[in-house]
Amino acid sequence: MRRAIGDHFWSRLPARTRADRRAEGGALRADIASLQGAAPYDAAALRVPVLAAAGSETTWWHQRATRELARAAPLGEHAVVTGAEHGAHLTHPTATAHLVRRALERADPA
């Protein structure tokens, strides 16, 4: 995490947050390592509605990944949370809640 955000931003985080991020180190490394192998699933084989969303201010690769997933899934839909970065659920909880409701409605329209 420190390498990702840089020393300047890392030093500005509260001590508790830095400790929490350090504790997540193993999981983060495993998550990154999982990107090196074969895809864990075939999006074209998904038979459930998929709502892939990204914040409008997040990195280009997160935006691209959500667009590609929505395009590849037969029942895929792409959404953008305007003004949000990567942690949209933290900074834009109402918009995120609307996305969750929309996903649930798509899964069970009755």
Contact 69, 76 (CB under 8 A): yes
Question: Whole-model pTM above 0.95?
Answer: no
Using DSSP's 3-state secondary structure scheme, residue 49 falls into coil
Instruction: List the pLDDT tens digit at each of the 110 positions of the chain.
Output: 787 788 988 899 999 999 998 898 888 888 888 878 888 889 999 999 999 999 999 999 899 999 999 999 999 999 999 999 988 999 999 999 999 999 999 888 76
Alpha carbons 75 and 52: distance in angstroms, whole number: 11
Contact 58, 43 (CB under 8 A): no
pLDDT at 42: 94
pLDDT at 29: 84
